[in-house]
C-alpha cells in the first residue's frame, strides 16, 4: 500500500479520516493525497475549465482552501509523511473516483458522521456512491476512531467462490497491523444451514490461502446484519470488513440491499472490498 486518498471537506469527520490515514501511512510508508472538491457556480467552473484560473472568484476560493490545507497539514499526526494536496472543481463523487484512478490510489479513507453509525454516509450520499463504485478498498471511519488500532478484524461473508476474488487483499490488509482475522458466517432461520455444511464451506474457502492468524465462527442470529453487529460487539472488534458489489453496494452477503440494522448501528470502522 503506497498511496492513500482522503477526501477533505474540513469537517471533524474528515479530520478523523485524515488521522486514521496517517496512522496507516506510517505503517506502510505510504503517501497521502488530500482531495478537496469545490462545487462552484457553473459560470465560474466554465471559466476555469477554459483555462482561466485567474478570475477574482476563483483566486479567492483557491486561496481559502489552501490556507485550510496548510492548517490541516501542520497537525502533528502528519509528521514524517509525504502529503500532497489537490483541489478540483467537480462533484464530490465524480472527483473522488476520478482522482483515485488518476493517482493509482490503493486505499480511500472517508469519515462518517452521526451517533447512529453509517446511516448518513451509506444511504444516498457521496460516500455510499464511492463505496459502491470504487475499484479500491474504502475505509469508512467515525469520529472517535482517530486513534484506530487494529488488532482484531472481522470478515463477514457467505464464503461463496466469488468472495475469493479479493480475499487475499483482506489478508494483506490485516497483515499490515498483525491483526487477527475473524472469519464470520451468520446463520439465520430464513437461510439456515447445518454447522457441518457451513464448516465445510469455510474450510474449503480458506484452503486456498495462507492466513497468518485467524479463527472461524458461526453465529446464529435473526438476520445477517444483526449477527455481524452482535459478534463485532461480543469480541470488541476494531474493524469490520465486507465485500461489495458494484450494482448493489454490499454484495450477496446482504442480498437485496444494505440493511438498516448495519448502517444505523455499526459503531466500528468498516472497510469494503469490491468484487
131 occurs within a structural domain: no
Q: In this structure, are 95 and 181 located in the same domain?
A: no
At 148 the pLDDT is: 83
Domain with 225 in it: 152-274
Does residue 130 lie in a domain region?
no
Q: Could you tell me the CATH number of the domain that includes residue 188?
A: 3.40.50.620
> Of the candidates 48, 82, 110, which is a domain's last residue?
110
Q: Please check whether residues 106 and 156 belong to one and the same domain.
A: no
How many Cα neighbours within 13 Å face the side chain of 83? 25
On whether residue 139 sits in a domain, the answer given is no
The pairing of strands 107-112 and 83-88 is unpaired
Residue-wise burial string across 158-181, b where 16 or more C-beta atoms lie within 10 A, e elsewhere: bbeeebbebbebbbebbeebebbb
Note whether residue 163 is domain-resident.
Answer: yes
Say if residue 156 is in the same domain as residue 106.
Answer: no
How high is the pLDDT of residue 39? Answer: 64
Q: Are residues 156 and 267 in the same domain?
A: yes
Task: Please check whether residues 106 and 157 belong to one and the same domain.
Answer: no
pLDDT at 202: 97
Q: Which residues of the chain have pLDDT under 70?
A: 39-58, 90, 113-125, 146, 246-266
158, 76: one domain? no
For residues 41 and 102, state if they share a domain: yes
N residues, the chain: 275
> Does residue 27 sit within a domain?
yes
18, 98: one domain: yes
Last residue of a domain, one of 110, 143, 170: 110
Verify that 190 and 267 share a domain, yes or no: yes
Distance, CA of 117 to CA of 128 (rounded, Å) = 13
Q: What is the pLDDT of residue 254?
A: 46
Domain shared by 87 and 156, yes or no: no
How many independent structural domains does the chain possess? 2
Would you say residue 44 lies in a domain? yes
158 & 269 share domain: yes
Q: Is residue 128 part of a domain?
A: no
Residue 117 is predicted with a pLDDT of 45
242: in domain:
yes
Q: 99 with 156, same domain?
A: no
Could you say which of 95, 110, 125 is where a domain stops? 110
64-88 pLDDT, tens digit each: 888 899 999 999 999 999 999 988 8
Find where cell 454516509 sits. Answer: 121
Question: Which pLDDT does position 41 carry in this prediction?
Answer: 55
Amino acid at each position: 500500500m503506497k498511496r492513500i486518498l482522503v477526501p477533505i471537506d474540513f469537517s471533524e469527520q474528515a479530520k478523523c479520516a485524515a488521522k486514521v490515514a496517517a496512522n496507516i501511512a506510517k505503517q506502510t510508508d505510504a503517501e497521502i493525497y488530500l482531495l478537496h472538491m469545490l462545487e462552484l457556480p457553473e459560470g465560474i467552473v466554465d471559466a476555469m475549465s477554459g483555462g482561466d484560473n485567474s478570475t477574482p472568484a476563483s483566486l479567492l476560493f483557491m486561496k481559502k482552501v489552501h490556507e485550510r490545507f496548510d492548517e490541516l497539514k501542520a497537525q502533528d499526526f502528519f509528521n514524517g509523511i509525504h502529503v500532497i494536496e489537490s483541489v478540483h472543481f467537480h462533484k464530490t463523487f465524480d472527483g473522488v473516483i476520478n482522482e483515485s484512478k488518476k493517482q493509482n490510489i490503493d486505499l480511500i479513507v472517508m469519515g462518517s458522521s452521526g451517533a447512529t453509525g453509517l446511516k448518513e454516509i451509506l444511504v444516498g450520499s457521496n460516500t455510499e456512491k464511492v463505496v459502491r463504485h470504487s475499484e479500491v478498498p474504502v475505509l469508512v471511519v467515525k469520529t472517535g476512531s482517530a486513534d484506530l488500532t487494529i488488532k482484531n478484524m472481522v470478515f463477514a461473508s457467505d464464503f461463496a467462490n466469488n468472495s475469493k476474488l479479493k480475499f487475499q487483499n483482506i489478508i494483506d490488509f490485516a497483515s499490515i497491523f498483525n491483526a487477527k482475522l475473524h472469519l464470520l458466517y451468520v446463520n439465520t432461520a430464513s437461510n439456515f444451514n447445518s454447522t457441518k455444511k457451513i464448516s465445510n464451506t469455510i474450510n474449503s474457502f480458506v484452503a486456498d490461502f495462507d492466513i497468518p492468524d485467524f479463527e472461524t465462527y458461526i453465529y446464529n442470529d435473526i438476520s445477517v446484519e444483526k449477527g455481524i453487529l452482535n459478534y463485532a460487539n461480543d469480541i470488541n472488534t476494531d474493524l469490520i470488513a465486507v465485500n461489495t458489489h458494484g450494482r448493489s453496494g454490499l454484495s450477496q452477503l446482504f442480498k437485496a440491499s444494505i440493511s438498516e440494522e448495519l448502517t444505523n448501528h455499526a459503531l466500528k470502522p468498516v472497510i469494503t472490498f469490491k468484487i
